[in-house]
Amino acid sequence: MTAAGEFPLIVYGYAHSAEEFISRNAPIGWIPIQPIFMNLVGVGLTAKAPHPNAARLLVEFLTSKEGQAIISSMHRVRRVRMFPQTRLA
């Protein structure tokens, strides 16, 4: 209902959701506030993965510049600073 312009303010929301609604011409906007609260999502590899090499490739892709560009293209906030790529052992 917020995206339809029925409420003047939302206190808690996701930036990626707002960006998606804005891209669909919803009558909304958003501004970042301080402090910024984040919901961190991790990616990891379990010790006994059934296909550990495939899992390693997926983790490497998700943390690569290309993977982060895809995440950004879905209006998701990616990590701010790219760190040097390291191969998973």
Over residues 2-44, the pLDDT tens digits come to 777 777 777 667 777 888 888 888 888 877 777 766 667 778 8
Q: Which of 18-22, 35-39, 51-55, 80-84 has the lowest mean pLDDT?
A: 80-84
Predicted confidence (pLDDT) at residue 49 exceeds the cutoff of 80: yes
pLDDT at 69: 84
Any idea of the CA torsion for 52, 57, 63, 69, to the nearest 10 degrees?
-140
Q: Is 15 helix (H, G, I), strand (E, B) or coil?
A: helix
The amino acid sitting at 76 is: R
Q: Is 19 helix (H, G, I), strand (E, B) or coil?
A: helix
pTM confidence score: 0.53
- How far is residue 77's CA from residue 5's CA, in Å, rounded to a whole number? 24
